[in-house]
């Protein structure tokens, strides 16, 4: 079966969810489904061997009615403007849902970081930010890390913007910076930890296989990057057992449990997880259907689709990645009694701590890690509670409607309601 592109999926979902938004003005649909602004740049960079290569970069501002655009910058060889646009829309819903005063944005450069030196990456980043010029800014559009970018990339972004705008506090122009450059304690692991806080709160209310906590629950995680590894660590600290773990090259399986620290050390030595002693190699496809209680896709989009959704054995799927479950798979999982904690809720911890970083930068303060984590847990739990309550209300109003029963529908409808309400409150200009 063919899987629609993430962009089409995003449009479909917005269209579906709009049916459940109270007093929704139909004329707003195209405004909410499309980006407010999309920028494409193409720029040359001198490579280490003296040759010159041109790179394409994008920055999309989806919506800024609730505040400045906010969202990551990813570096990926297959990146397209369409994909960036749909990820920017997800940021709008994510920010509205978690209650931070930002709109949605996303950006990136088409490049393969595995083939580039640090010097080349620095020159690409600086030139990209220079090309974007005043399309980013502390109160207009604020980048952050995403796939294959990190705190170092954010330091270069800050430094480039600061050189272009001397004499003022430019720290809030970008989040996810190194801590000594105004980064927030706890930002690095925030998305992964947020995934775990959201899961814990969900378990406390609804439970999974009779368990109300993570203690003893078996978890499969696809993806061992920043998000997957932080989630794995926090899960094991709470007594969960990681039975399967995957990276881009394959996956490993061990019913007795995988120690994330050992897996990290093995991956650092060997460049991959496969072959780790005490585990069996499996494919990423087998990981998705592995015997477990909770499945956490923490890698790329469309990993659970119409073809493999009927075989998923987890009872709860927690979307740590953006868009890992397709709309068709959503309905199949629901028919099989499997709940999905949607991306805009489950992985909002990253942007939540980005907001904390932005506030600290504006105040020129640094909060303790405990304070950051306490506030993160509070916000994740509050959002999960709101989505569960909204979902119950939708199901009461629309009995026997499978779409209304999805937590994604409740999350998206709630976020769209907040954004469309703000559009109307501010008044449509002129």
Would you name the residues annotated as active-site residues?
106
- Pick between residue 291 and residue 378 the one whose CB is nearest to ligand GLU: 378
Nearest distance, CB of residue 351 and ligand GLU, angstroms: 4
3-state secondary structure at position 244:
strand
Nearest distance, CB of residue 71 and ligand GLU, angstroms: 5
Angle, helices 369-397/190-206, rounded to nearest 10 degrees = 50
- Other C-beta atoms within 10 Å of 331: how many? 16
3-state secondary structure at position 207:
coil
The yes or no reply on residue 350 touching ligand GLU (CB under 6 A) is yes
- Pick between residue 354 and residue 409 the one whose CB is nearest to ligand GLU: 354
d(C-alpha 296, C-alpha 317), whole Å: 6
Nearest distance, CB of residue 144 and ligand GLU, angstroms: 3
- Pick between residue 72 and residue 223 the one whose CB is nearest to ligand GLU: 72
Strand 250-253 to strand 241-247: parallel, antiparallel, or no bridges (unpaired)?
Answer: antiparallel
Binding segment (CB under 6 A) for ligand GLU, from list 19-27, 70-78, 193-201, 258-266: 70-78
Nearest distance, CB of residue 300 and ligand GLU, angstroms: 13
Nearest distance, CB of residue 187 and ligand GLU, angstroms: 8
The yes or no reply on residue 76 touching ligand GLU (CB under 6 A) is no
For ligand GLU, the binding residues in 146-165 under the rule CB under 6 A are 146
Name which position in 351, 376, 411, 415 contacts ligand GLU (CB under 6 A): 351
d(C-alpha 139, C-alpha 130), whole Å: 17
The yes or no reply on residue 144 touching ligand GLU (CB under 6 A) is yes
- Pick between residue 17 and residue 144 the one whose CB is nearest to ligand GLU: 144
Name which position in 7, 59, 70, 233 contacts ligand GLU (CB under 6 A): 70
Q: Are 144 and 100 in contact (CB under 8 A)?
A: no
For ligand GLU, the binding residues in 394-413 under the rule CB under 6 A are none
43, with CB counted inside 10 A (0-12, 13-18, 19+), is middle
| Count of residues in contact with ligand GLU, rule CB under 6 A | 11
- Pick between residue 85 and residue 279 the one whose CB is nearest to ligand GLU: 85
For ligand GLU, the binding residues in 162-181 under the rule CB under 6 A are 175
- Other C-beta atoms within 10 Å of 398: how many? 15
d(C-alpha 329, C-alpha 106), whole Å: 25
Binding segment (CB under 6 A) for ligand GLU, from list 34-42, 114-122, 237-245, 350-358: 350-358
d(C-alpha 191, C-alpha 354), whole Å: 10
Nearest distance, CB of residue 137 and ligand GLU, angstroms: 14
Binding segment (CB under 6 A) for ligand GLU, from list 65-73, 197-205, 361-369, 386-394: 65-73
Site string for ligand GLU, 307-346 (x = CB under 6 A): ---------------x------------------------
- Pick between residue 61 and residue 290 the one whose CB is nearest to ligand GLU: 61
Q: Are 293 and 314 in contact (CB under 8 A)?
A: yes
270, with CB counted inside 10 A (0-12, 13-18, 19+), is exposed
- Other C-beta atoms within 10 Å of 233: how many? 18
CA–chain centroid gap for 221, Å, is 15
- Other C-beta atoms within 10 Å of 318: how many? 27
Q: Are 306 and 7 in contact (CB under 8 A)?
A: no
Site string for ligand GLU, 361-380 (x = CB under 6 A): --------------------
Q: What is the DSSP string of 136-155?
A: SBTTTEEEEE-TT--HHHHH
Q: Which residue's C-beta sits nearest to ligand GLU? A: 72
For ligand GLU, the binding residues in 214-233 under the rule CB under 6 A are none
Nearest distance, CB of residue 75 and ligand GLU, angstroms: 12
Residues sharing a CB contact under 8 Å with residue 79, sequence separation 6 or more, in sequence order: 58, 108, 109, 110
Strand 316-318 to strand 339-341: parallel, antiparallel, or no bridges (unpaired)?
Answer: parallel
Nearest distance, CB of residue 201 and ligand GLU, angstroms: 19
d(C-alpha 275, C-alpha 45), whole Å: 38
> Where do contacts with ligand GLU occur on this chain (CB under 6 A)?
70-72, 144, 146, 175, 322, 347, 350-351, 354
């Amino acid at each position: 079966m063919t899987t629609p592109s993430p962009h089409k999926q995003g449009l479909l979902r917005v269209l579906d969810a709009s049916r459940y938004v109270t007093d929704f003005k139909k004329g707003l649909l195209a405004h909410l489904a499309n980006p407010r602004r999309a920028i494409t740049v193409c720029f040359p960079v001198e490579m280490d061997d003296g040759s010159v290569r041109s790179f394409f970069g994008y920055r999309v501002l989806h919506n800024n009615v609730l505040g400045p655009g906010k969202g990551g910058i990813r570096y990926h060889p297959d990146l397209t403007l369409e994909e960036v646009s749909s990820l920017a829309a997800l940021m709008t819903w994510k920010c509205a849902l978690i209650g931070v005063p930002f709109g949605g944005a996303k950006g990136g450069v088409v490049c393969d970081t595995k083939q580039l030196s640090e010097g080349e990456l620095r020159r690409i980043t600086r030139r990209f930010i220079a090309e974007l010029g005043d399309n980013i800014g502390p109160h207009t559009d604020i980048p952050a890390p995403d796939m294959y970018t990190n705190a170092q990339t954010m330091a270069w972004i800050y430094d480039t913007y600061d050189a272009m705008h001397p004499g003022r506090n430019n720290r809030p122009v970008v989040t996810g910076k190194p801590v000594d450059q105004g980064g927030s304690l706890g930002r690095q692991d925030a998305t992964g930890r947020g995934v775990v806080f959201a899961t814990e709160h969900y378990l406390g209310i609804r439970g999974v296989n009779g368990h109300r906590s993570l203690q003893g629950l078996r978890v499969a995680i696809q993806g061992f990057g920043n998000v997957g590894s932080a989630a794995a660590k926090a899960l094991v600290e709470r007594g969960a057992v990681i039975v399967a773990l995957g990276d881009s090259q394959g996956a490993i399986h061990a019913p007795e449990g995988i120690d994330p620290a050992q897996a990290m050390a093995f991956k650092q030595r060997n460049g991959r997880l496969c072959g780790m002693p005490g585990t069996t190699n499996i494919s990423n496809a087998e990981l998705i259907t592995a015997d477990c209680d909770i499945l956490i896709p923490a890698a790329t989009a469309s990993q659970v689709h119409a073809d493999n959704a009927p075989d998923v054995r987890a009872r709860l799927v927690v979307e740590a990645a953006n868009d890992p479950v397709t709309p068709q798979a959503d309905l199949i999982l629901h028919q099989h009694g499997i709940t999905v904690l949607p991306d805009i809720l489950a992985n909002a911890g990253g942007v939540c701590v980005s907001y904390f970083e932005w506030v600290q930068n504006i105040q020129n303060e640094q909060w303790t890690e405990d304070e950051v984590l306490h506030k993160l847990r509070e916000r994740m739990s509050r959002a999960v509670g709101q989505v569960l309550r909204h979902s119950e209300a939708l199901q009461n109003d629309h009995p026997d409607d499978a779409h209304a029963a999805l937590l994604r529908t409740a999350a998206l409808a709630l976020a769209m309601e907040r954004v469309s309400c703000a559009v109307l409150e501010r008044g449509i200009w002129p």
